[in-house]
Amino acid sequence: MHILGEISNLRAAQAFSDYLRSLGIENRLNPIDGKTQIILQDLGSIALATDELKAFIKDPNNPKYLAASWEVNNDDNVRLSDMPRGSVVPLERLLRSGPFTLSIMILCIGIYGVTTLFQTDVIYNWLAFPSDIGDLSSLTQPWRLLTPVFMHFGLMHVAFNLLWWFELGRIIEEYESGWQLLMLLVIIGLFSNIWQYTMTGPSFGGMSGVVYGLMGYLWLYGKTNPNAGYQLRPQIVMMMVVWLVLCFVLFKDVVANWAHLGGLIIGAITGVGFGLLHRISRKPTQ
């Protein structure tokens, strides 16, 4: 992917984006810091798109740009930088998300639904973090180091966590891969769970540590690899960090705060590492 340039007016950027698509040049929009980046997905079109951008800047009111907006079928170009816009995920966007993102949502909803409907703790007992991990060599159910991330203890708990999982996870799956998202789920889930256990014991569960990890990953991945095609708005990061601090102060006994903090830290570290790695390995040749 390649950042073609920036346009200060979002509507003008959308018109130009539609015009490029009418020429067969696939692109996406990424609003950031009051401007909108034009992200090209086809490196072979850089020269043509650059010339078109220069022409657009000289004559942005040309009728051909407005005509393109009517002719092109928009596919929700504005991505993560405008998220979230409410508490309800539109069905169309939900169905367009990646299969791994959806699979994890279905898994968490299924576990919560069955456990609540039948008033049984059997599934939770099978997924809960081990009561003692002092001797890992004797651990007969190693999956339990990770599986607490799939456990939720209330409707708001599961809804809030899965909303953020959807908003953050689908971006990673779309721009990178489902395997990358799976790897991050495992790394962040294990680290945040073990840290929470170390600080408070085994009684915890939920996807929120992973959510904070994905936020940290996306935040610093976009910073270290500008060609990623997405970046988190600073307001989103600030909101999540403020909520993290408030939970430590107001809900220290009922929220897995250490999992949140641990997830954020390991996610940020992973984001820097992969951002630098992909920036180097995917650098276009001259």
Per-residue pLDDT, 24: 81
What's the CA gap between 121 and 265, in Å, rounded? 31
Per-residue pLDDT, 79: 40
What's the CA gap between 58 and 62, in Å, rounded? 9
- The single residue of 45, 81, 97, 208 carrying the catalytic annotation is 208
Give phi and psi for 37, each to the nearest 5: -80, 145
What pLDDT digit, counting tens, does each position of 25-50 carry? Answer: 888 888 777 678 888 877 778 888 89
Torsion of CA 106, 102, 104, 281, to 10 degrees: 180
Per-residue pLDDT, 21: 82
Give phi and psi for 205, each to the nearest 5: 180, 165
Phi-psi region for residue 34, left (φ > 0), alpha (ψ -120 to 50) or beta?
Answer: left
Per-residue pLDDT, 68: 60
Give phi and psi for 141, each to the nearest 5: -130, 70
Per-residue pLDDT, 82: 41
What's the CA gap between 270 and 279, in Å, rounded? 14
For the chain, the straight-line distance linking the first and the last C-alpha, in angstroms and rounded, comes to 15
Per-residue pLDDT, 84: 40
Closest C-alpha to 81, from 224, 211, 222, 279: 222
What's the CA gap between 127 and 200, in Å, rounded? 18
Give phi and psi for 170, each to the nearest 5: -65, -30
In order of start, what are the domains of the chain with their CATH numbers?
A: 2-78 (3.30.70.2350), 91-281 (1.20.1540.10)
- The single residue of 8, 203, 260, 278 carrying the catalytic annotation is 260
Listed as ranges, residues in the chain with pLDDT below 50 are: 70-88, 284-286
Per-residue pLDDT, 93: 57
What pLDDT digit, counting tens, does each position of 112-145 carry? Answer: 999 888 887 888 888 989 887 765 555 778 889 9
What's the CA gap between 65 and 22, in Å, rounded? 10
Per-residue pLDDT, 67: 61
Catalytic: 208? yes
Give pTM, 2 decimals: 0.66
